[in-house]
Amino acid sequence: MNDLSKRPDHDPPYDYPPYGSTRLRFPREPLVQLPAGALDVPGPLVPKGFVRDGDNDLTNKGKSAPLGEKMILAGRLLDESGRPIRDSLVEIWQANASGRYDHVGDQHDAPLDPNFSGAGRVLTDALGRYRFVTIRPGAYPWQNHPNAWRPAHIHFSVFGPAFATRLVTQMYFPGDPLLPHDPIFNCTADPRARQRLVSEFDFESTVEGHALGFRFDVVLSGPEATPMEAPAG
């Protein structure tokens, strides 16, 4: 039987003991081997109406502005040769500025923000670009190990030509002191690949007097691929 705990060094392993919940969800049976090209057949495209104007602005969904530091998050979706991935659905979700998700499963005692749902979506343009307006998320405690805190992060989901080609990853912020202590960030073995999960401060996308800018490019394959999370089993 194959060792299902191992994946390429640029992706996290299926089973990583310091990240406790992987024990509950990593595959127990051999993975199904699909024929080459099986996922190359285009599926239904995302309808244009699925993404509405303003869906990429997470700060305009309430009766007033959400609390926290406003930020612009922009980047490109690329293949291994640096070519743009056009018309691809990019979705993000995140905690609010206090480190709490607007989700029934989050019972952290940090306050909810009635003006911030923490979710947005956009289609990439002809150059593979995406752009979100959001709030910088807060760190929060979790129960993985004693005194465990997740660094500030934003979840990304990107879709290819079919729903079976969905990929999920997380984006972090430069200089975060919690990164060396976070098993989810550190379960990617290759330190260079780990750094591809960290965004860059970006003056070009910063809006004067309004919001700081951060850049996060997502590369789908190849030696410079962005590390992607294993699907839940």
Provide the annotated active-site residues: 101, 140, 150, 153, 155
Question: Other C-beta atoms within 10 Å of 167: how many?
Answer: 17
- Residue 120 to residue 122: CA distance in whole angstroms: 7
Listed in sequence order, the DSSP H helices in 102-220 are: 183-186, 191-195
For residues 69 and 94, the answer to whether their CB atoms sit within 8 Å is no
Return the percent helix, strand and coil in the chain, to nearest 5: 10, 25, 65
- Residue 152 to residue 171: CA distance in whole angstroms: 9
Where residue 70 falls (left for φ over 0; alpha for ψ -120 to 50; beta otherwise) is: beta
